[in-house]
Amino acid sequence: MAVRYSEFQKLNTEILAISVDSVYTHKVWNEIELSNMVQGGIPFPMVTDENGSIGKLYDVYDHAKGTNLRSTFIIDPKGYVHGMELLTSPIGRSSEEILRQLQAFQNYTQTGELAPCDWHPGEKTITESIEKPGHIWKEWKPKNYN
C-alpha cells in the first residue's frame, strides 16, 4: 500500500494501518523493515489498537490470539462500509484490487452506474438497476477468459 500511496491519494482516499502492536513496535517495524522496502517508510498513519477495540467494532478481532485479522475496509466519508476483505496471514493484499474497488465505488457515487465483475475504469458499466433483475444481461456480458 505504501508503494502505491500516491495513487490512493489521487482518489482522495486515506489509508490507516491498524494493529494491536504498540506504537514502539510500529516505529521499529517502520524503521527496520518498511523503510528498507519503501523509500521514506510508511507514508500513512499506523494506529495502535492494543486492546482490540477497533477490531472488535469491525468484528475482525481474534480473541484467542489477541490480534486483529488481516482485513481491508472501504469506508465512505459518512462512515458507511462499502467493502470488506478478510484474509488469512499467508495471503497478501492486492493493492491493485483495492484501487479497482475504490474506483468502482467512486464511479458509482458519481454516476449511479454499477461495476460488473472484473470491471476496470473506462469499461462498460451497468446502468440498469439491480432492482430490476432479468435485465442486466441486456447491457453486460462477462469477459471471455478462454
pLDDT of 66 reads: 94
Tell me the three cell numbers of residue 60: 475482525
pLDDT of 129 reads: 67
5-57 per-position pLDDT tens digit: 999 999 999 999 999 999 999 999 899 988 888 888 899 999 999 999 999 99
**SS3 of residue 5 by DSSP:** helix
76-132 per-position pLDDT tens digit: 999 999 999 999 889 999 999 999 999 999 999 999 998 988 999 999 898 866 666
In this structure, what are the phi and psi dihedrals at residue 84, rounded to the nearest 5 degrees? Answer: -150, 135
What is the homologous superfamily of the domain 5-91 according to CATH?
Answer: Glutaredoxin (3.40.30.10)
Domain residue extents for the chain: 5-91
How many residues in total does the chain contain? 146
Q: Which amino acid is at 128?
A: E
- pTM of structure: 0.86
| Residue (of 65, 68, 142, 77) closest to 105 by Cα position | 77
105-114 per-position pLDDT tens digit: 999 999 999 8
Contact assessment for residue 128 and residue 138, using Cβ atoms and an 8 Å cutoff: yes
